[in-house]
Amino acid sequence: MPRASKTDSPVAMDETEIEIRLGQLDDYAVTFETHKTDSDPAPLFVGLPDDSCQCTHLGYVVKGRLVFRYADHDETVETGETYLARPGHRPLLFAGTELVEFTKQSELDQTVAVISQNLGAAKVGG
């Protein structure tokens, strides 16, 4: 049976704002996220349809809170709550938040390709 833990999953990103550890469960990616600062990553989604994340995420907030902004409403998720974030969202993230999130790897790959381009452009321009 596939399984993943935060301690056994390799670090995929460790930046000022966030640490992400990435595990695999067959065709699902599991991310263990620790948010170090408040952040609005909306600029990273530019180039995706509606400049929004197109993944469906199923997650659990271990500690803290996050907000999913949709075109017509916002949804706040807090400590101890699970969530289903549908395509078309832009997250707002808060310092001290820890979460576990499950996403189909194929969806995540497409989104990460655009995020990586935007990160690269920001580093070159910044």
Superfamily of structural domain 11-119:
Jelly Rolls (2.60.120.10)
pLDDT class of 123 with cuts at 50, 70, 90:
low
Domain borders along the chain are: 11-119
The pLDDT assigned to 49 comes to 95
Name every residue whose Cβ is closer than 8 Å to that of residue 25 and which is 6 or more positions away in sequence: 2, 3, 4, 102
HSE, side-chain direction, 13 A CA sphere, residue 35: 21
Q: How confident is the model at residue 120 (pLDDT cuts 50, 70, 90)?
A: confident
Q: What is the pLDDT of residues 13-44, one digit of tens each?
A: 898 999 999 999 999 999 999 999 999 999 99
Nearest to 111 by CA among 1, 8, 31: 31
Average pLDDT (104-120) is: 91
Distance CA 45, CA 24 (A): 23
Interatomic CA distance for residues 23 and 16, integer angstroms: 21
